Chain A
Amino acid sequence: GQQLNQSPQSMFIQEGEDVSMNCTSSSIFNTWLWYKQDPGEGPVLLIALYKAGELTSNGRLTAQFGITRKDSFLNISASIPSDVGIYFCAGHKTGNQFYFGTGTSLTVIP
């Protein structure tokens, strides 16, 4: 199925730094979801966004539903080693249609 444009593809940062990643699409979504996947495991839902302009936090994570409904952002503040993993965005339109980003691989250097 269709994939969303997610960037950056990979990030190497120092512990304590902030992280930003985003997903964009040429079409409108009604829901944006952000997941983290550790190696060899299934993705875990971090934040769900249901309304344009919505800004939601989950601990050190903050995500925003873009006002145009065509993009979403995820920020991680004060990164720690356990933040390492692959982060995926997912967009939902209607029915059973979910579209996934290509993933952002995050490496945190202690």
Chain B
Amino acid sequence: GAVVSQHPSWVICKSGTSVKIECRSLDFQATTMFWYRQFPKQSLMLMATSNEGSKATYEQGVEKDKFLINHASLTLSTLTVTSAHPEDSSFYICSASLGSGNTIYFGEGSWLTVV
């Protein structure tokens, strides 16, 4: 299957700083990537849909100024958590759609801990 890679796998940052998470499609071009947040033992919560070359579409309740998404190329989307706070600590996952857009592949996820 298609491979989607996230980096870093885990990151610890100080409160008030910003942290960037990368999502790459390694063997295909993805015009659309998705960013999710997942709390323990819960399902995926879609944060935003990222389209290459255009602004991301954020879900209701997600602060676009806090969670900056950039999709500058067909193989890379980045999520930057700005002015991070402990409540932003979570598991962040990206996915990318393949081909006709009816199948998505997930990255390995990134653990963010804000101290």
Contacts and interface: CB of A to CB of B under 8 A. Distances in A.
Contacts of A44: 106
Secondary structure type dominating chain B contacts:
strand
Contact of B102 (A3, A31, A45): A31
Nearest to A103: B43
Secondary structure type dominating chain A contacts:
strand
Nearest to A99: B46
B106 A31 contact: no
B43 A88 contact: yes
A59 interface: no
Most buried by B among A30, A33, A43, A92: A43
Most buried by A among B44, B95, B105, B106: B44
A33 B51 CA distance: 22
A3 B104 contact: no
Interface residues of B, number: 28
Given A1-B46, A100-B44, A42 B93 contact: yes
A31 B98 CA distance: 13
Given A42-B108, A45-B106, 8 more contacts: A33-B103, A40-B111, A41-B109, A43-B106, A96-B34, A96-B97, A98-B46, A100-B44
Q: Which 8 A-B pairs have the closest CB atoms?
A: A42-B106, A31-B102, A42-B109, A43-B106, A42-B108, A92-B102, A102-B43, A42-B93
Interface of B: 1, 4, 6, 32, 34, 41-44, 46, 49, 51, 57, 59, 91, 93, 95, 97, 101-109, 111
Interface of A: 1, 3, 30-31, 33, 35, 40-45, 48, 50, 88, 90, 92, 95-96, 98, 100-103, 105
